[in-house]
Structure 1
Amino acid sequence: MQPRSPSRPPLVYLAFGPATYHQEACFSIVSALAHLDVHAGETLDIQVYTDNPQPYGKLPVTVHVLDEATRNAWNAPHGYHFRSKHVLLRQILGQHPLAVLIDTDTFFRTSPLRLFERVRPGHMLCNFVGARYGANQTCLLYKNLLGILKQRGLADCQMPLVNSGVIGLTAEDAATLDQSIALMDEFYPLARSAYTLEEFCLAVAAYRKLELAECTDVIHHYWSRKAQFRAKIQAWLRKHDDDPLSAAALADVLLVNDQLPRPPALHRLGYKALSLTLPSHERQFARELLYGCYPYPNEFDRACAPAWWDKALENLNERNGRIAPEELRQCLRHPGLRLSLGERRKDIEAHLLKTASH
């Protein structure tokens, strides 16, 4: 495989911090390579900016090691870590005519070259175009910033919001990032608890200036239900970490799909019936545990079992308050649930009691 070409615009990853983010990035990279048509001569230039080059040693990428001082400077003046995405892409567009920055929690459905086909002057590629700014008037970004934005003529309630899991721009539109960075710096004190401030500022900077393009058909961005998708990816890594570009590894990439594993409808009805033997506040908990126990034919779907169990406990705690370990043990040993879980009950109990004790 010849994945890189210096004449190609770069696909850029920014990955630092806990191992989970590097695992996500590695799988996303391999999924991009798996979807290249090498027989048609497709190549890809992948650039990884990271604090830890070790996970990428077996991948055909160019690694740029970021020291802590650089990352702190990119996050200044407020220590806002999403700011670094825009700073990095702005720097890259000083060296390339166009580039695409992609989040680590992604994987490809088709050739990554489809992304670059949608990046052209006067356009901005994002993951997807969301609702209008005025659709949710209770959010912090609306309440605290609408007046300022309208006064300056920067935005109104009709502005489309964007998801920045992917950002693609040409060098001639790089000033969009200068503005988004300036807006983040200004608005962070007014909306520091708004998780989406970074992509909101990007939407403002692009509004009325750039046409928006989406790419959900090219990549899956698993910003929701991360635990299940991370479980699939970690199972793939355990199986293929020694040779991530082997034919078997690339074939298995296609089995790590974008579907949440759910039992067939008939089984779900059966689970619902079984749960009726339990107290009402434990019924959903039981059904979610059973979703994790179903023998899915796809091995990577089966790997989601602990994530389903964790989510079941999390939802139970949210509905009823944090459950004590002894109460959890009694719940799992209820005759109806004990029978339903069968041989998996001991594994589930050990796993959840360990989780509940932390």
Structure 2
Amino acid sequence: MPPLSPSRPQLVYLAFGPATYHHEACFSIVSALAHLDTKAGEAIDIQVYTDNPAPYRKLPVTVHLLDEATRKAWNEPHGYHFRSKHVLLREVLRQHPLAVLIDTDTFFRTSPMKLFHRVGQGRLLCNFIGPRYGANQKCLLYKNLLAILQQRDLADCQMPLLNSGVIGLTAADAPALDHSIALMDELYPLARTAYTLEEFCLAVAAYRKLELAECTDVIHHYWSRKAQFRAKIQAWLRKHGDDPLSAAALADVLQVNDQLPRPPALHRLGYKALSLTLPSHERQFARELLYGCYPYPNEFDRACAPAWWDKALANLNERNGNMAPEQLRQCLRHPGLRLSLGERRKDIEAHLLRTAAH
């Protein structure tokens, strides 16, 4: 465990619960290290607050064991689990002048130092700056909270929203986190089903007080299409988990790209033509199965095949109700689709029947 330096920027992760989140965090950390230009003197400290230190034992990070009682206290008074992000960053900034808290479902496109260069006194770093508060007047946060916030001159329709997959602040601006935590505690009963309440409260706390900066060019935050990106990361871990900082592992980090794997346009056109031989309600299902079967040159894109198949079945069930196992078999054995899937059909059928059973 490397010693922390009070003068170095702090990259902070909060990772707990199922193994998936630890896998995400480990890959995100390695991607940061892969892009760090140590020859140019770039240096950061990485802190991981977690309920399970084991996944990080081969990484140059400082691990803080986070027990259940502490995490529960961080989520009080309403048990709102996103509240802990702000509490943790506030604690880190009591000891360090500059810190960035980053979600686990991220990986770096370039040097993590670029994050810290965008944080300064009077400036809040977020993942991205979203639309104005008034852009979606059907949103629960708008309908339930606008009048209250306007009366207290805390927000208006022009306030920019933000995504908090990344939160970067200086210690001098840490009181913004105190404000966001107080807002969460107060407003949660009025918007308890709003998934984005945490980042909304941060936007309110920063409004008219802090400049906003974003960093989508530095990191990829795969909050959308998680299954495909998790499949890429799992493939990298299977290959390099025993030696995650080897030259080969760091080189392969660059192959885990931010593109959703899709076949070339000509192949997609062919899949569309093929799907016309199927009943209309099964056509998209067939195309998505074939997207997973395409022989992508990138091995980590090929690893997304089961995720494509699962998504195809989920979309089919969402459109038409859950398909019975025999219906699924009949669909997969349609002559045109059977020919296109080739030798993979049996594997796909077995995989989807297991998925459907769960």
TM range (shorter): over 0.9
Task: Tell me the residue number matched to 1:237.
Answer: 237
Report whether the alignment pairs 1:156 with 2:156.
Answer: yes
Q: Measure the CA separation in 1 of the matches of 2:168 and 2:140.
A: 27
Residues 1-358 of structure 1 aligned to structure 2 (within 5 Å): 5-358=5-358
The Cα of 1:41 is off from its aligned counterpart by 1.9
The Cα of 1:37 is off from its aligned counterpart by 1.1
Matched to 2:342, the amino acid is: G
Q: What secondary structure is seen at the aligned counterpart in 2 of 1:24?
A: helix
Asked if structure 1 preserves the Cα contact closer than 8 Å seen for 2:110 and 2:218, the reply is yes
Q: What secondary structure is seen at the aligned counterpart in 1 of 2:131?
A: strand
TM normalised by structure 2 equals 0.98
| 1:193-238 CA-partner distances (Å, limit 9, x unpaired) | 1110100000000001000000011000000000000000000000
Q: Measure the CA separation in 2 of the matches of 1:296 and 1:97.
A: 45
| 1:129-161 CA-partner distances (Å, limit 9, x unpaired) | 001111111111111111111111110111100
Q: What secondary structure is seen at the aligned counterpart in 1 of 2:229?
A: helix
The Cα of 1:67 is off from its aligned counterpart by 0.6
Q: Measure the CA separation in 2 of the matches of 1:98 and 1:71.
A: 23
The Cα of 1:6 is off from its aligned counterpart by 4.8
The answer to which of 318-327 and 246-255 deviates more is: 318-327
The Cα of 1:7 is off from its aligned counterpart by 2.5
Asked if structure 2 preserves the Cα contact closer than 8 Å seen for 1:127 and 1:166, the reply is yes
Asked if structure 1 preserves the Cα contact closer than 8 Å seen for 2:6 and 2:97, the reply is no
Q: Measure the CA separation in 2 of the matches of 1:213 and 1:270.
A: 43
Structure 2, gaps ≥5 residues long:
none
Q: Measure the CA separation in 1 of the matches of 2:5 and 2:155.
A: 40
TM normalised by structure 1 equals 0.98
Matched to 1:307, the amino acid is: A
Matched to 2:186, the amino acid is: E
Aligned residues: 357
Asked if structure 1 preserves the Cα contact closer than 8 Å seen for 2:231 and 2:307, the reply is yes
Asked if structure 1 preserves the Cα contact closer than 8 Å seen for 2:6 and 2:95, the reply is no
The Cα of 1:269 is off from its aligned counterpart by 0.3
Q: Measure the CA separation in 2 of the matches of 1:3 and 1:141.
A: 42
Q: Which runs of 4+ in 1 moved over 4 A?
A: 2-6
Matched to 1:351, the amino acid is: H
Structure 1, gaps ≥5 residues long:
none
Asked if structure 1 preserves the Cα contact closer than 8 Å seen for 2:50 and 2:65, the reply is yes
Q: What secondary structure is seen at the aligned counterpart in 2 of 1:277?
A: coil
Matched to 1:85, the amino acid is: K
Asked if structure 2 preserves the Cα contact closer than 8 Å seen for 1:176 and 1:206, the reply is yes
| 1:265-323 CA-partner distances (Å, limit 9, x unpaired) | 00000000110110000000000000000000000000000000000011101111111
Q: Measure the CA separation in 1 of the matches of 2:250 and 2:89.
A: 29
Q: Measure the CA separation in 1 of the matches of 2:89 and 2:121.
A: 16
Q: What secondary structure is seen at the aligned counterpart in 1 of 2:120?
A: coil
Q: What secondary structure is seen at the aligned counterpart in 1 of 2:220?
A: strand
Q: Measure the CA separation in 2 of the matches of 1:121 and 1:165.
A: 20
Work out the percentage of aligned pairs sharing the same amino acid: 88
The Cα of 1:44 is off from its aligned counterpart by 1.6
Matched to 1:276, the amino acid is: L
| 1:239-290 CA-partner distances (Å, limit 9, x unpaired) | 0011000000000000000000000000000000110110000000000000
